[in-house]
């Protein structure tokens, strides 16, 4: 059984990347946000929402830290390469991907190799992999 986590350099390279999400807000809440933007408290709606999310994450930081420890999650970026999976396959080992952040399975990893070497996938954040690999691992994704 193996866990792979990112190097600090990998995390720095990816730290500026983000994922777009869509949320629904009531008109009054949206109006309040627009008012704060107009008054100069925030540069735009996204700035307000990022700040609100960070404030809530800071507020619950202890609970998040305990949960990350309990679930044995790696923080940040996990990049899985074909070479790493082939080495695991040669040793008869399986990979358990447990990440809070971004997990990337390299585009040259085949669905067959992923099935042969990845025992489970738990990603809280975003998983980037080819559609074939995602489909193959669907049953192993928590």
Quote the domain boundaries for residue 79: 8-15+72-140
Say what the pLDDT of residue 142 is.
82
Say what the pLDDT of residue 71 is.
87
Tell me if 42 is assigned to some domain. no
Q: Are 52 and 32 in contact (CB under 8 A)?
A: no
Listed range (19-23, 27-31, 109-113) with the worst mean pLDDT: 19-23
Residue indicated by tokens 């992923």: 114
Q: What mean pLDDT, rounded, does the chain reach?
A: 89
76, 91, 127, 135: which is closest to 106 by C-alpha?
A: 127
Q: Are 95 and 85 in contact (CB under 8 A)?
A: yes
Tell me if 62 is assigned to some domain. no
**Can you name the residues that pair with 98 across neighbouring β-strands?**
122
Answer left, alpha or beta for residue 22, where phi above 0 means left and psi between -120 and 50 means alpha.
Answer: beta
Q: Are 89 and 15 in contact (CB under 8 A)?
A: no
Tell me if 79 is assigned to some domain. yes
pTM of the model: 0.70
Element (H, E) at 20: none
Say what the pLDDT of residue 11 is.
43
> How many residues are there in the chain?
142
Please tell me the total count of domains within the chain.
1
Tell me if 59 is assigned to some domain. no
57-115 pLDDT, tens per residue?
A: 999 999 999 998 988 888 889 999 999 999 999 999 999 999 999 999 999 999 999 99
Helix (H, G, I), strand (E, B) or coil at 43: coil
Tell me if 44 is assigned to some domain. no
Residues 6+ apart with CB under 8 A from 29: none
Say what the pLDDT of residue 75 is.
87
Predicted confidence (pLDDT) at residue 6 exceeds the cutoff of 50: no
Percent of the chain with pLDDT over 90: 77
Tell me if 34 is assigned to some domain. no
């Amino acid at each position: 059984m193996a866990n792979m986590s990112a190097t600090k350099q990998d995390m720095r390279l990816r730290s500026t990347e983000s994922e777009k999400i869509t949320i629904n807000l009531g008109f009054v809440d949206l109006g309040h946000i627009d008012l704060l933007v107009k008054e100069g408290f925030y540069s735009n709606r996204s700035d307000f929402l990022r700040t609100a999310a960070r404030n809530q994450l800071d507020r619950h930081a202890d609970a998040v830290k305990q949960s990350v420890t309990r679930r044995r999650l790696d923080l940040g970026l996990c990049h899985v390469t074909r070479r790493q999976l082939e080495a695991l396959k040669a040793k008869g080992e399986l990979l358990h991907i447990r990440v809070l952040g971004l997990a990337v399975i390299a585009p040259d990893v085949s669905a067959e190799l992923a099935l042969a070497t990845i025992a489970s996938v738990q990603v809280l954040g975003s998983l980037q992999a080819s559609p074939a690999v995602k489909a193959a691992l669907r049953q192993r994704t928590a």
